[in-house]
Amino acid sequence: MPENENSTLNILPLGGLGEIGMNMMAVSWGKDALVIDAGLMFPDQSMPGVDLVIPDVELLVRQGWNVLGIILTHGHEDHIGALPYVLPRISTPVYATSFTMGLVEHKLEEFGLLATTERREVSPGTSVRLGPFEVDFFSMCHSIADSVGLALRTPTGLLLHSGDFKIDPNPIDGKLCDLAKIAAYGDEGVLALFSDSTNVENEGRTGSESAVRPVLEGLFREAAGRVLVATFSSNTHRLQQVLDLSHACGRKVVLVGRSMEVTTRIAQERRCLHLPPEIFVDVKDINNLPDERLTILSTGSQGEPLSTLALMAADRHKYLQVKKGDLLVLSSRFIPGNEKAITQIINEFFHRGARVEYEKILPVHVSGHAGREELRTVLRLARPRYFIPVHGERRHLVRHGHLATEEGISEDRIIIAQDGDLIELSQSGARIAHQEEVKRVFVDGKGVGDIGNEVLRDRRLLSEVGLVTVVVVIRGDTGEIVSGPQVYTRGVTYQELEDELLHGAAAAVKQKLAELPLRPGEEWAEYQEEMRLAVRRHIKRVLGRKPLVQTIVVKT
């Protein structure tokens, strides 16, 4: 595709720059655009009650771009999880490799979107043409099967997107990173490289997935009872190793956890997982086999409260109880924020006589993201004119930028962007033109975008200081008090202090109302605020706290 030095390409990151997760980026030429990935992010402790966080899709709509397709690099939730919320607003074809498409189709079916979504399956080594864009797909190694990088030919020049990756010299499925293809693009001339920054703080190289095999094998060989392996269901390479080792050690495998069952089925159908013969048994039949012939493959490695591991730790699982002699292997990393929940499960398993092994003790897990030396390799092969680090918090992006300068890319050709930055890119220059207003959209039950920062603030306050409710019944025509005030609390004080607190709060409200002239009910808004302040002052005086206070006036 010929280059046009007078043309400008727009890049708009909607998620994934400034956080880990919620990856989504739009590339536009004129009014035509395509989107790379559409991921979600799981809420942290500052988002009580929120189920999921997704990018601001309305920002895309406001641009007025004609979105020609959504291109997916792989099947992790932080890259595909927002699709059911994006597609109703932006009806466009979805392009993905076989296994990724299988995961997408399952998700779309759950949301009733499968029949109305155009899906186009691609494979490494193929290309698709979308308006002014031509997209090449090439193999990259990651902790999920069928991952790809993207080479995007535009009228302005060639863009290279690494996707999530590591350079694994001995991948489980034998599919190596296509470094020769990256080098060929470098020879062709890469206008801009977008590269995964997640593990930029890790020196050296990330270990091969195959390095986990001998560690797991040693544990399997020495285990006298059941082996429980907890890992991410999407890590098909890890699942393959557990299945192969179980078969080699004469063990049958019980799958527990809905996502584990679904992902295993899809991976088998898409030929990304090869099952040993008659390897599975139903969880209901585990008592028909001796413990030394059982492997339990489960989700819940992050301490999720309703996961199989959490239920076993609390002795609440219908079929599985922790036994003395069990071996639990947590074959995944501890995601920051989950440490307390995970260690609680570990302690409970130890308390019940099990043995637990995890990454801090044994190398039972390797990352799917590239370390610094692998990131250097891609920079050296691609030799981009401009470099834009992606997929990471600000510290990751900045450090990746420093790494690029060490590889000879001048600082003025490195763009450290954040969500909402509209990047203008041409052969003659690159710059952040302006910052679009971008927000995080919270999914709360069936509500999408229904709650904002004010609601989250109130929820945090409720969890920290509790709620006091004041109820007064008045005559609507005169404002005369008929009943009350009655005061109720939730999460404010100890039971032994509650009567004193409630009576004092009610007295404070009654005194304040006695000081105010009678008014009809429709004029009581000001009085409700006075009631609220009277209760707050009383509780602050007694307890030194300022809970949320709501006032309810019932008119008769």
What digits encode the pLDDT tens for the residues 253-292?
Answer: 999 989 999 999 999 999 999 999 999 999 999 989 999 9
133 neighbors 93 (Cβ within 8 angstroms): no
Instruction: Determine, yes or no, domain membership for 3.
Output: no
- Do 46 and 139 reside in the same domain of the chain? yes
Residue where one domain finishes, among candidates 358, 384, 410: 358
Confidence of residue 469 (pLDDT cuts 50, 70, 90): confident
Asked, for residue 142, whether it belongs to a domain, the answer is yes
331 plus 217 within the same structural domain: yes
Same domain for 278 and 376, yes or no, is no
462 in any annotated domain: yes
Q: Could you tell me if 247 and 386 lie in one domain?
A: no
Active-site residue, from 74, 142, 369, 396: 369
**What is the H or E stretch that residue 9 is in?**
strand 9-15
- Tell me the mean pLDDT in the region 381-403: 97
Domain containing 291 — which CATH number? Answer: 3.40.50.10710
182 and 39, same structural domain? yes
Q: Which residue range is the domain that position 501 belongs to?
A: 453-555
Residue 496 reports pLDDT greater than 60 = no
Distance (Å, whole) CA 552 – CA 531: 10
Does any domain span residue 2?
A: no
Q: What is the DSSP letter of 53?
A: E
Predicted local distance difference test score (pLDDT) of residue 449:
47
- pLDDT tens for each residue of 310-343: 889 888 888 899 999 999 999 998 877 778 889 9
* Residue 499 pLDDT grade (very low, low, confident, very high; cuts 50, 70, 90): low
Does the residue 545 lie in any domain? yes
Whether residue 215 sits in one domain with residue 199: no
What value does the mean pLDDT take over residues 24-50? 82
**Per-residue pLDDT, 3:** 44
440 with 472, same domain?
A: no
- Beta strands per DSSP E along 216-259: 227-230, 252-256
For residues 528 and 513, give the distance between their C-alpha atoms in angstroms, rounded to a whole number: 10
199 and 213 belong to one structural domain: no
Instruction: Write the CATH number for 491.
Output: 3.10.20.580
User: Has residue 34 been placed in a domain?
Assistant: yes
CA distance 260 to 253: 12
Residue 1 domain-assigned?
Answer: no
Pair (429, 466) in one structural domain: no
Average pLDDT of every residue of the chain: 87
What is the average pLDDT across 444-449? Answer: 52
Confidence at 447, pLDDT banded by 50, 70, 90: very low
Tell me the mean pLDDT in the region 431-439.
89
| CATH code of the domain in which 136 resides | 3.60.15.10
d(CA 521, CA 437) in angstroms, rounded, equals 42
**pLDDT tens digits, 179-231:** 999 999 999 999 999 999 999 999 999 999 999 999 999 999 999 999 999 99
* Rg value, the chain, Cα: 28
Number of domains in the chain: 3
User: How does residue 2 score in pLDDT terms, banded at 50, 70 and 90?
Assistant: very low
- At 462 the pLDDT is 52
Q: Which residue has the tokens 């006298």?
A: 224
Where is average pLDDT lowest: 77-81, 335-339, 390-394, 425-429?
335-339
Boundary of a domain, candidates 429, 446, 463: 446
pLDDT value for 53? 83
- Identify whether 49 is part of a domain: yes
pLDDT for 307 equals: 85
Task: Please check whether residues 151 and 225 belong to one and the same domain.
Answer: no
Rounded percentage of the chain residues whose pLDDT exceeds 70: 87
Q: State pTM to two decimals.
A: 0.82
**Cα–Cα distance between 24 and 13 in angstroms, integer?**
6
Same domain, 189 and 324: no
Residue 196: active-site member = yes
In this prediction, residue 1 carries a pLDDT of 44
Domain's final residue, options 329, 358, 387: 358
C-alpha torsion 541→546→547→552, nearest 10? 70
Catalytic residue among 196, 326, 419, 421: 196
Picking from 9, 21, 138, 4, the residue whose alpha carbon sits closest to that of residue 73 is: 138
pLDDT at 239: 97
What pLDDT does 427 receive?
82
- CA-nearest of 462, 431, 454 to 549 is 462
Q: Is 402 a catalytic residue?
A: no
Q: How large is the angle between the packed helices 394-406 and 372-382, nearest 10 degrees?
A: 60
Whether residues 221 and 107 fall in one domain: no
Query: Mean pLDDT lowest for which of 23-27, 377-381, 424-428?
Result: 424-428
- Using 50, 70 and 90 to split pLDDT, how confident is the model at 425? very high
Highest mean pLDDT among 135-149, 276-290, 431-445: 135-149
Q: For the residues of 421-475, what is the DSSP string, one character each?
A: EEEEEETTEEEEEEEPP--PEEEETTEES---HHHHHHHHHHHHH-EEEEEEEE-
The predicted structure's pLDDT at residue 552: 77
Residue 478: pLDDT band by 50, 70, 90 thresholds? Answer: low
